[in-house]
Amino acid sequence: MAWNPEHPELITRREAILRVSVLLGGVALVGGNVLLTGCSPDGRRRSTAQLFTSDDIALLDEIADTILPETSTPGAKAAETGAFMALMVTDTYDESDQEVFREGLRTIDERCQEMHGTSFMAATPEQRLALLERLDQEAMEHMDARSEARRRRNEQRSAAAEAASDTGAAAEAQAQLPDQRQEGALGAEGGSGAAAITADSPTHYFRMMKELAMLGYFTSEIGYTQHMRYVEAPGRFDPCVPYTPGDKIWAPHA
């Protein structure tokens, strides 16, 4: 069965976020705090249709399906992951991240036109994969550069605070702190004409899409019961289970 926002959760939100964070290298998901509390970031409930058209959701389905294609089990499109992604952006992202995500959809089509001379929806599976692999590399470089910029900023602030403590000149040290817009700025690689990446640069749009595609798929009924092996609680205790290479992993209980 495809993902249904009214279907009872098979796992807790916290478990879902933890699992996808591990798959993505331990980095916190955009909007993760809001997802845990179940509240929209500004306290208001918005309609997905206000941010995404049916064409946008169809494009998200194809992007997610390129990341998680059909193999021996159904892919992300079969789980209607595009609709899940749109809902999560609407309900858990703040306005600035929503704009980054939506602009990313337009950018993907532009990059596909540059790379293959066609839109993403009209591209072949091979063309789509080639583009997303390039974007994935750019996203990793972007996130690494931002992490390095934040590390430098923290070191500079710690050094300034320590100096202020030693000399008692806290106000003077604060005034000498580097401007956040300049400190730790690193040139963004992989994208022509890209702006310098600073500690306050937003998450890369493709990182957002990859996070939500994986979260949506691995918390859907298809992902949970077909991609993984699921046994309804209470199940039983098996202290030693034979393992055959290639076996599906077991889905944890809620």
Kindly report the three-state secondary structure assignment for every residue of 163-179: HHHHHCCHHHHHHCCCC
Q: Could you give the CA distance from residue 208 to residue 239 in angstroms, rounded to a whole number? A: 38
Which band of pLDDT confidence, cut at 50, 70 and 90, is reported for residue 1?
very low
Residues 6+ apart with CB under 8 A from 234: none
Q: Identify the residue with better confidence: 232 or 189.
A: 232
Q: Is residue 134 part of a domain?
A: yes
Domain count, the chain: 1
The pLDDT of residue 20: 57
- For the CA atoms of the chain, what is the radius of gyration? 21
Q: Quick check: 226 pLDDT over 80?
A: yes
Domain that holds residue 91: 13-144+202-227
What does 17-44 look like in DSSP terms, one character per residue?
HHHHHHHTTSPPPTTHHHHHHT--TTS-
Question: Is position 167 within any domain?
Answer: no
Residue 179 has pLDDT above 90, yes or no: no
- In this predicted structure, the answer to whether residue 241 has a pLDDT above a threshold of 90 is no
pTM (whole model) above 0.75: no
Tell me, yes or no, whether 174 lies in a domain: no
Residue 242 inside a domain? The answer is no
For range 233-254, the mean pLDDT:
75
When comparing pLDDT for 26 and 46, which is higher? Answer: 46
Residue 104 lies in a domain: yes
- Please state, as a whole number, how many other Cβ atoms lie within 10 Å of the Cβ of residue 149: 21
Report whether pLDDT(212) > 80. yes
